[in-house]
């Protein structure tokens, strides 16, 4: 997904993050300067749905204008059969393709060697 807040704001004549920050505060969403900077200039790692709702109300837009899907950036997982064959051939004697797993007791101590 691409975060499109800056362009959505510019389309409505809002050119400064501080202006949008003030408008959000008027609608009950107080955003710190640091968080506002992240929302304005970058891609936020996370955003609350309630905050997203306020942003949409202030800008008079829908979520689809703020979050632009980018399906070409989604990677498909490789086929399972090919992965399993490659994994088992790379580690001799391993069933799952990873290192051998030694079971542990519930106490956290390992079992004695066989």
What's the CATH code of the domain at 51? 1.10.260.40
**Domain count across the chain:** 1
14-36 pLDDT tens trace: 999 999 999 999 999 999 999 99
> Is 108 among the domain residues?
no
Range of the domain at 10: 2-71
Residue 40 lies in a domain: yes
Residue 111 within a domain: no
Q: What is the pLDDT along the chain (114 residues), one digit of tens a residue?
A: 899 999 999 999 999 999 999 999 999 999 999 999 999 988 888 899 999 999 999 999 999 999 999 889 888 887 665 555 555 555 555 455 667 776 666 776 777 777
* In-domain check, residue 22: yes
**102 within domain boundaries:** no
**CA quadruple 21, 53, 41, 30: dihedral sign:** positive
Helices (H) and strands (E) in the chain, counts: 6, 2
Quick one: CA dihedral 31, 33, 35, 39, positive or negative? positive
């Amino acid at each position: 997904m691409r975060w499109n807040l800056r362009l959505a704001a510019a389309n409505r004549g809002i050119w400064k993050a501080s202006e949008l920050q003030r408008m959000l505060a008027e609608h009950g969403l107080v955003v710190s300067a640091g968080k506002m900077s992240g929302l304005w200039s970058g891609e936020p790692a996370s955003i609350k749905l309630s905050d997203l709702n306020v942003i949409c109300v202030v800008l008079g837009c829908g979520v689809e204008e703020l979050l632009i899907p980018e399906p070409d950036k989604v990677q498909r997982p490789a086929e399972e059969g090919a992965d399993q064959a490659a994994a088992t051939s790379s580690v001799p004697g391993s069933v799952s393709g990873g290192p051998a797993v030694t079971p542990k007791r519930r106490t956290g101590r390992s079992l004695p060697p066989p």
